[in-house]
Amino acid sequence: MLKTAGILATGGVTSLAGCSSGNGNGDGGEPATTETEGTDGSGSSNTVMMVTEDSEYYFDPIGLFVESGETVTFEIESGSHSATAYEEETSSASVTRIPDGAETFNSETLSEQGATYEHTFETTGTYDYFCIPHKTQGMIGRIVVGEPGGPAEGSMPPDGDVPESQTIVDQGSVSYSEFSG
């Protein structure tokens, strides 16, 4: 097994253990409880870990690049967290920081270690998101789909800092420790 930047890979297949009750929010996200292969057929994984470590709350990686049509899995490593898009009509968001016409996402709060939430990103652009219970502690992240763009470009989210979009594109992902260190 190889664990790098919060991504757990086992011979091209990522093992996702855990369970979650249906989120019932109708946003197209799905709880996942089975082994998942990368959406591009390469066996790569787009997994963002949701972490509580002492008094720190964070997503790892904090910045992730994916292509349009790829699915990202948000997984509880420790604590209780959500992955919630900055979209004015979404719980706890006062601004919209996802591309125009993009489908919003909101996992609601997941509490069980290993619980997962998946969202497929179809619309190109920059998506900023946060954890509902830890937004005020700066638990935010950024996903760039295809290329930077949309209302999140040119500024930081209202609740903290994330890597610049071009850095995410250039590196593919930016770990929390790399960004905060």
Instruction: Give the residue ranges of the annotated binding site for Cu cation.
Output: 131, 134, 139
CA-based Rg of the chain, rounded to a whole angstrom? 15
Q: What dihedral do alpha carbons 37, 133, 111, 107 form, nearest 10°?
A: -40
- Please choose, from the candidates 174, 114, 115, 118, the residue with its C-alpha nearest in 3D space to the C-alpha of residue 143: 174
Token representation of residue 56: 């720190």
What phi and psi values does residue 136 have, to the nearest 5 degrees?
-70, -15
Integer Cα distance of 128 and 162 in angstroms: 8
Tell me the residue length of the chain. 181
The bridge status of strand 70-76 relative to strand 47-53 is: parallel
The three-class DSSP label of residue 168 is helix
Q: Of 93, 102, 80, whose CA–CA distance to 150 is shortest?
A: 102
- The dihedrals phi and psi of 57, each to the nearest 5 degrees, come to -130, 125
> Residue ranges for the binding site?
131, 134, 139
